[in-house]
């Protein structure tokens, strides 16, 4: 018998079992942060070691893995993680959202709606939505335990008082099943509504902070807001310059040294798929002074 | 790992585990994850293991996938489960506990009296995950009175018809739901199949 050079999906079986138990508890208590004994991974923390460990614990030989970073399949981070699992778990990989059974992501939810049977794994840097209000873990646990979320509402309301609208645009906190306040990871708040009632299973892994949490399919997820300042997602005045898509999240791309910019889909697979289908955007950079992105006030 | 043993009387304890522990435990885990993520769906856990009676294939596959030395396993009738306990201990390293308060997993008997379940750990408000998972064998996962399930993991509602639930099961699960986020998670098992009923699931007569 020849022994493999590494464990399947890198992690040893004891570690996978521990992570798997944490995932199941997370599924049973949606939005609650389950502690787990995070392992050292052969990559730096900023690369999403929590998400990588969750993916490693669930991945099997029949899976098709997609990895995105800020919506793109081709960044160094995404390419490295995809290569890591192609090597250690010998899984098929894809850039097509619809073809993936497991999607690991940093900072975006794909534009194409996820479907039943898919699993999306979020890389989470700071899992505690109350951390900026209360640095002590013992205290935040008590707050979650007693459901004393007044403070986080105060912080959001201060945003309104200062800026006239809720200024938080990333990692915008949500409430899960009317119980736990949860950090959705640093996705743009544009993506928050996609979490609500998704037919896919959503798993969250924070490596440095050693937390796993989950949203089962069809879980009720509401972005925190106020009666006089309801939650709204970012809106874009222009369509994607390349594929003409509207209602998607656009990234600003500087196209020359005079500050000309264009706005293109952050989800590269979505953009490419649309262009393959024949959609064409205006394509040309717009002048530097024009503001295209507007945060809903 | 291969173990060669000549003790005929105990040989059965060493047999019947996962043929391929890495891939089999992954396969069982994904099915259990789906069972708890989508309450009411039937997970097929058959064919992975051949446990000693009275342990079902489903209960045994769940234990081999999730139990280890960190998770005390409590048996409702240890006196009926000598072989099952030996088999589980050999394949998982999990300690059998007689202390119901320490149970991470509880292997129940058919028609287990629900009054006794109040002793299982349901977690604390700081750590609701420090709770027991109950493995409850039933006569059949179909053919009984219909129960309507709602809650996370279920788009609208799901109806299950398990046969041979203990008396008072539904009332117990209603109380369990009321204690949320504390609570017990339940896996109904029969033969090689399982249905997940996490603490979030609301159960009522259909
Ligand atoms: Zn586009």
Catalytic residue among A26, A71, A207, A271: A271
Residue ending a domain, choose from A194, A218, A242: A218
Integer CA distances (angstroms), B90 to A56, A107, A147, A218, B14, in order: 26, 43, 43, 39, 7
The answer to whether B185 faces chain A, any CB pair under 8 Å, is yes
For B199, the closest chain A residue by CA position comes to A28
A267 phi, psi to nearest 5 deg: -85, 100
Partnered with residue A106 across adjacent β-strands are: A69
Which of A27, A118, A136, A180 is the mutation pick for testing B, counting most B CBs within 10 A?
A27
Cβ contact, residue pair B38, A60, below 8 Å:
no
Give ipTM to 2 decimals. Answer: 0.95
Residue ending a domain, choose from A162, A197, A218: A218
- CATH class, range B10-205: alpha beta
Q: Specify the pLDDT at position A108.
A: 97
Same domain, A117 and A65: yes
Other C-beta atoms closer than 10 Å to the C-beta of B56 total 24
Judge whether residue A242 has pLDDT over 90.
yes
Judge whether residue A204 has pLDDT over 90.
yes
Neighbouring residues of A218: CB distance < 8 A, sequence distance ≥ 6 = A197, A198, A199, B152, B153, B154, B155
Q: Specify the pLDDT at position A280.
A: 92
Q: Specify the pLDDT at position B10.
A: 53
Does residue A32 lie in a domain region?
A: yes
Which residues of chain B have a CB within 8 Å of the CB of A59? 26
Count structural domains, chain A. 2
User: Mind telling me how many Å the CA of A289 is from chain B's nearest CA?
Assistant: 47
Chain segment A108-141, per-residue pLDDT in tens: 999 999 999 999 999 999 999 998 888 999 999 9
Token pair for A53: 């460990």
Q: Specify the pLDDT at position A5.
A: 57
Does residue A189 lie in a domain region?
A: yes
Does residue A242 lie in a domain region?
A: no
Q: Which residue has the higher pLDDT, A273 or B1?
A: A273
Which residues of chain B have a CB within 8 Å of the CB of A177? 152, 200
pTM of the model: 0.94
Does residue A6 lie in a domain region?
A: no
User: Mind telling me how many Å the CA of B173 is from chain A's nearest CA?
Assistant: 14
Q: Specify the pLDDT at position A4.
A: 52
Same domain, A47 and A88: yes
For B155, the closest chain A residue by CA position comes to A218
Burial class from Cβ neighbours inside 10 Å (0-12, 13-18, 19+) for residue A261 reads: buried
Range of the domain at A35: 13-218
Same domain, A157 and A269: no
Q: What is the mean pLDDT of residues B86-104?
A: 97
CA of A81 to the centre of ligand 1 (A): 24
**A-B contacts (CB, under 8 Å):** 108
Same domain, A195 and A63: yes
User: Mind telling me how many Å the CA of A60 is from chain B's nearest CA?
Assistant: 6
The CATH number of residue A92's host domain is 3.40.50
**Side-chain half-sphere CA neighbours of A239 within 13 A:** 12
Q: Specify the pLDDT at position B184.
A: 98
Q: Specify the pLDDT at position B6.
A: 41
For A147, the closest chain B residue by CA position comes to B125
Same domain, A202 and A274: no
Which of B152, B186, B194, B196 is the mutation pick for testing A, counting most A CBs within 10 A?
B152
Same domain, A184 and A93: yes
Integer CA distances (angstroms), A129 to A135, A212, B65, B147, B164, in order: 11, 14, 32, 37, 44
Does residue A4 lie in a domain region?
A: no
């Amino acid at each position: 018998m020849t022994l493999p050079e590494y464990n399947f999906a890198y992690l040893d079986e004891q570690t996978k079992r521990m992570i798997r138990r944490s995932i199941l508890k997370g599924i049973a208590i949606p939005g609650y942060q389950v502690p787990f004994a995070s392992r050292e991974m052969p990559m730096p923390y900023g690369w999403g070691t929590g998400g990588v460990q969750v993916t490693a614990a669930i991945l099997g030989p029949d899976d098709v893995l997609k990895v995105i970073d800020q919506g793109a399949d081709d960044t160094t981070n995404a390419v490295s993680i995809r290569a890591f699992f192609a090597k250690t778990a010998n899984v098929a990989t894809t850039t097509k959202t619809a073809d993936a059974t497991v999607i690991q992501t940093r900072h975006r939810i794909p534009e194409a709606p996820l479907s039943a049977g898919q699993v999306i794994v979020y890389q989470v840097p700071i899992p505690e939505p109350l951390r900026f209000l209360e640095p002590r873990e013992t205290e935040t646990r008590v707050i979650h335990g007693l459901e004393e979320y007044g403070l986080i509402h105060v912080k959001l309301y201060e945003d309104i008082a200062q800026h006239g609208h809720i200024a938080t645009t990333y990692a915008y906190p949500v409430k899960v099943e009317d119980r736990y306040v949860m950090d959705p990871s640093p996705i743009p708040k544009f993506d928050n509504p996609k979490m609500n009632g998704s037919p896919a299973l959503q798993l969250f892994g924070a490596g440095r902070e050693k937390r796993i949490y989950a949203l089962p399919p069809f879980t009720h997820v509401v972005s925190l807001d106020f009666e006089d300042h309801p939650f709204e997602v970012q809106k874009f005045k222009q369509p994607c310059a390349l594929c003409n898509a509207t209602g998607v999240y656009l990234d600003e791309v500087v196209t020359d040294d005079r500050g000309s910019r264009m706005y293109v889909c952050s989800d590269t697979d979505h953009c490419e798929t649309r262009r393959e289908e024949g959609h064409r955007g205006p394509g040309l950079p717009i002048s530097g002074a024009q503001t295209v992105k507007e945060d809903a006030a | 790992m291969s173990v060669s043993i000549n003790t005929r009387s105990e040989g059965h304890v060493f047999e019947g585990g996962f043929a391929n522990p890495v891939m089999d435990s992954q396969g069982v885990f994904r099915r259990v994850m789906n069972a708890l993520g989508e309450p009411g769906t039937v997970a097929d856990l058959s064919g992975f293991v051949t446990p000693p009676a009275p342990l079902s294939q489903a209960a045994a596959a769940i234990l081999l996938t999730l139990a280890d030395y960190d998770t005390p396993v409590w048996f409702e009738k240890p006196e009926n489960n000598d072989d099952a306990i030996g088999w589980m201990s050999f394949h998982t390293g999990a300690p059998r506990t007689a202390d119901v308060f320490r149970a991470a997993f509880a292997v129940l008997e058919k028609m287990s009296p629900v009054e006794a379940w109040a002793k299982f750990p349901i977690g604390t408000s700081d750590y609701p995950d420090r709770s027991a998972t109950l493995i409850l064998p039933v006569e059949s996962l179909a053919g009984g009175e219909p129960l309507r399930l709602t809650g996370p993991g279920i788009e609208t509602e799901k109806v299950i018809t398990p046969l041979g639930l203990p008396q008072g099961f539904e009332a117990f699960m209603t109380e369990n739901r009321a204690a949320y986020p504390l609570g017990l998670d339940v896996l109904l098992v029969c033969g090689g199949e399982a249905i997940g009923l996490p603490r979030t699931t609301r159960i009522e007569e259909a």
